[in-house]
């Protein structure tokens, strides 16, 4: 099998929406409104300053995974942190080193743009995802994420 990673286009929208909805269900047990997710991804696909998406294709015939990122400016370090926003692989393709390929493509793009580092957040109870991210080189940071409802 051959795999190819490329920037996502609007033709990938339906698949990206299905991945985002599935990821929310698997990772956090929450059901997301597909229409709202579609609106969000459409907006980002039309404006790289909001988010960027890459897809993983098998044999150039079907998208089997994706990764997206958003940028965060650091005035302390005068550069952007790239945050992985979504990462999804169809279950039958997990455990085959493909996530590492998606991460590597993202790392290459980040380096080409002078990003400071890759970051992500993962649900504290998602042991499978934490283990997978650790295997490809992520480690715990000294930060704690806090939120405030609006």
Laid out side by side, the sheet with 117-120 consists of 3-7, 52-58, 62-74, 79-89, 117-120
Residue 145 in domain:
no
The model carries a pTM of 0.92
Residue 128 in domain:
yes
Judged against a pLDDT cut of 80, whether residue 131 lies above it is answered with yes
* Distance separating alpha carbons of residues 65 and 148, to the nearest angstrom: 31
Judged against a pLDDT cut of 90, whether residue 123 lies above it is answered with no
Q: How many domains does the chain have?
A: 1
Using a 10 angstrom Cβ sphere, with 0-12 exposed, 13-18 middle and 19 or more buried, the burial of residue 17 is buried
Residue 77: which domain range?
Answer: 3-135
Residue 150 in domain:
no
* Distance separating alpha carbons of residues 8 and 67, to the nearest angstrom: 9
Residue 12 in domain:
yes
* 30-78 pLDDT, tens digit each: 999 999 999 999 999 999 999 999 999 998 679 999 999 999 999 999 9
pLDDT-derived band at 99 (thresholds 50, 70, 90) equals very high
DSSP one-letter code for 79: E
| Token duo for residue 49 | 């300053």
Residue 79 in domain:
yes
Asked if 66 contacts 53 with a C-beta cutoff of 8 angstroms, the reply is yes
15: domain CATH number is 3.40.630.30
Residue 92 in domain:
yes
Residue 25 in domain:
yes
Scan for tokens 């969000």, then name that residue.
40
Residue 147 in domain:
no
């Amino acid at each position: 099998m051959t795999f190819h990673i490329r920037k996502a286009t609007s033709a990938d929208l339906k698949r990206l929406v299905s991945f985002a909805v599935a990821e929310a269900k698997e990772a956090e047990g929450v059901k997301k409104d597909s229409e709202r997710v579609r609106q969000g991804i459409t907006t980002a696909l039309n404006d790289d300053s909001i988010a960027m998406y890459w897809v993983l294709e098998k044999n150039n015939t079907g998208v089997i995974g994706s990764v997206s990122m958003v940028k965060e400016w650091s005035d302390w370090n005068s550069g952007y942190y790239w945050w992985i926003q979504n990462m999804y692989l169809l279950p039958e393709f997990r455990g085959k080193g493909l996530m590492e390929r998606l991460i590597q493509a993202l790392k290459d793009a980040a380096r080409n743009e002078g990003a400071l580092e890759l970051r992500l957040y993962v649900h504290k109870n998602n042991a499978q995802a934490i283990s997978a991210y650790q295997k490809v080189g992520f480690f715990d940071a000294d930060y704690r994420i806090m939120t405030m409802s609006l």
